[in-house]
Amino acid sequence: MIMPTATGGIAQQTADSHDAEKNIFSDESRGEGEHRAGDGERRSNNDPRHSKQPRQNNQPRRDKRDVHGWVILDKPIGMTSTHAVAVLKRLFQAKRAGHAGTLDPLASGGLPIALGEATKTVPFVMDGRKRYRFTVAWGEERDTDDTEGRVTRTSELRPQADAIRALLPRFTGLIEQIPPQYSAIKVQGERAYDLARDGETVELKPRPVEIHELTLVEHEDTGRSVFEAECGKGTYVRALARDIGRILGCFGHICALRRTLVGPFRETDMIPLEELEALCNRAASGEGSLADALLPVETALDDIPALAVTRADAARLHRGQAVLLRGRDAPNSSGTVYVTVAGRLLALAEIGNGELIPKRVFNLTGLTASPGRSNERV
């Protein structure tokens, strides 16, 4: 088990969110969940939450519509996750939207954005594995553990590739990790990054995280190393860079970060913002459909068994009523399943004591993913 010593740590740029606090953006709820997001996101002075921006040219408010599905944005560097959700919500004119795991403005890559009924499946994505490709600059430790921070320690030492590789097994598997000082973890009701900005040093306790894989991809003579990590929720990639640098005695901080996997969503699922905007323009002129950018709601449920029911049973489940499971085709398992009727997602339900009990019922009336999108991922 690794218990790194505590010093600085910063920006909220971690690998994942340790608990799925609310991050759904509807007309009534527009603030970001500010959940612990591993290498997630810190507050920005440009955050639209902190200022009301009037509509330009007194343009009328566009009618919102029901849109259901996932868009996996290839988030550009410099954009906050909050702003990304707002942009996609506007492009799709969607009533509801939220993201599944914050990504820091300094990071690029996969930001899964749930629209409409897909917001009900956000926890299943946030609990999944994340994969990152990141670059560590050696010789400086910063209070944010990334390039935005103030330099707190320096060293003339530069590590050898063999020394780095020899150390990586100590950071693989179940380890204990002290979160960065600049993180969204709450300390006596206050966010750690707010306390850090006020000049306070807080004692953050080590917490268990799981690193499934950590590899050295490239080692440069310029004093930088490129890594890939696959990890579970709650992992802070910035803390990995900080702790490896301390043990090697050369110090280090992250200078580049890209997320390449989030739960079931791969890099091939990602869509650049420019491509989405171009598709939106084509759709407005009748030359395409925004449905082509959506992945089905059930894509987030890839790891959950599916159970098909009859239309009669579907009607009961839709009313929130349990269904008795009987006959030779009745499943003998228990736990969570997603229920379909005639190939269409109906509900999330629990099997127990011979009953199918609905927990979340989906209403997919409106714009949904094009029929071919599911087959594209096979």
Positions marked catalytic: 104
Is the CB of residue 332 less than 8 Å from the CB of residue 307? no
Q: Which residues of 99-126 are buried (b: 16+ CB within 10 A; e: fewer)?
A: bbbbbbbbbbbbbbbbbbbbbbbbebbb
**What are residue 185's phi and psi, to 5 degrees?**
-65, 140
Paired tokens of 14: 């971690």
Distance CA 165, CA 167 (A): 5
